[in-house]
Structure 1
Amino acid sequence: MNKYIVKMLSVNDNNAFFQLINTNRERLEDFFAGTVLRTKTIADTINYCEEIEQKINKKSYFPYLILEKESNVIVGFIDVKNIDWNIPKAELGAFIDSKHEGKGIITTTMASLIDDIVNEHHFKKLLCRISSRNTRSIRVALNSGFELEGTIRCDYKTTKGEIVDLNYYGKIF
């Protein structure tokens, strides 16, 4: 039985979401720069969650929290972003709380979430853009059935100003 559940982020989750980001802020700032920037305080996080709620209603962004069933503690985050309804396709991003790394939580929860969002939204393609140096996220993508489509050189600027290569992984449905 899966010990984790995935649920859509709501404004009511702002305190727990803030704590998740704040605890992992330094390690997230390069590749979740927008989220980190918009959640510096509880008040910022409330505003950010309210804006996200509007994006959910417009079907332009779907953020999900990963919770441990027994404790109801948030241990991770998966978002569906850069949605193109013309195809339809979307990009997935994910992170896990540092205390829960290496347990396969993202891989397990991502598999069930992918099934759910493909069935609900009829996506034809999902993709992940991952730093070519992020071996853990690459492993998650490959274990989730994504295939390397290519590496785009000098494709992303981190918050520290480093320009890095991104691997593009895709999954067709």
Structure 2
Amino acid sequence: MTDLHFAHYRIRPLTPADLHPYFEMVERNRPRLEQFFTGTVSRTRTLADTQDFLADIAERRQAKTYLPFVILDEATNRFIGFLDLKNIDWNIPKSEVGCYMDADAAGQGVATQAFRLFCDYCFAEFKFQKLFLRTHESNTAVRRVAEKSGFEVEGVIRRDYKTTAGEVVDLIYYGRLN
């Protein structure tokens, strides 16, 4: 992948060499991520756990079953966001897109710019016919980013996700066609 640049930010693949900055970003945002990024939070509790997690990600990237990326603030050289492609179906082809932003970077428009650029890249580079995302009703920030990026609500799947706290919640499905 060629790195994607916008303003003074860069989107690039997450690699095992990113251990410390990735762990630090997750650690800074752990309370915000706990309910809906349970896999990330549970597999990155320690630096050693995170190292194993990144090694697993590298294998999955090689197999093209999971593709994680980071958003880097080039002015500070700090990770400020995460994007990933998961639940990839190469037969259609389509993929689910996930994202989160560092609390310090949230609400500044960076997520929307990054998400749009990333989605355009995914359609062009991977030839996806569809990208989709799932979120919950209270996540108004992601809902705004999705809608500003050309995604449309496709429906609500009731009682579709169990949070870390054990609450079963509805998920709103958004989709964007190429």
Same-fold status (TM-score > 0.5): yes
Structure 1 match to 2:16 = 11
Alignment counterpart, residue 27 of structure 1, candidates 22, 27, 32? 32
Alignment counterpart, residue 100 of structure 1, candidates 90, 98, 105? 105
Cα distance, 1:72 vs structure 2: 1.4
How far, CA to CA, are the matches of 1:94 and 1:71 in structure 2? 21
Deviations 1:34-59 (A, max 9, x none): 01100001111111001000000000
Gaps of 5+ in 1: none
Question: TM-score when scaled to structure 1?
Answer: 0.98
Structure 2 match to 1:43 = 48
How far, CA to CA, are the matches of 1:38 and 1:65 in structure 2? 17
Cα distance, 1:110 vs structure 2: 1.1
Alignment counterpart, residue 128 of structure 1, candidates 122, 127, 133? 133
Gaps of 5+ in 2: 1-5
Question: TM-score when scaled to structure 2?
Answer: 0.95
Alignment counterpart, residue 71 of structure 1, candidates 62, 65, 76? 76
Amino acid at match of 1:59: K
How far, CA to CA, are the matches of 1:19 and 1:132 in structure 2? 28
Stretches of 4+ moved more than 4 A in 1?
Answer: none
Deviations 1:136-172 (A, max 9, x none): 1100100110000011111100000011110000000
Equivalent pairs, count: 173
1:24 aligns to what SS in structure 2?
helix
How far, CA to CA, are the matches of 1:66 and 1:155 in structure 2? 29
Report percent identity of matched pairs: 45
1:107 aligns to what SS in structure 2?
helix
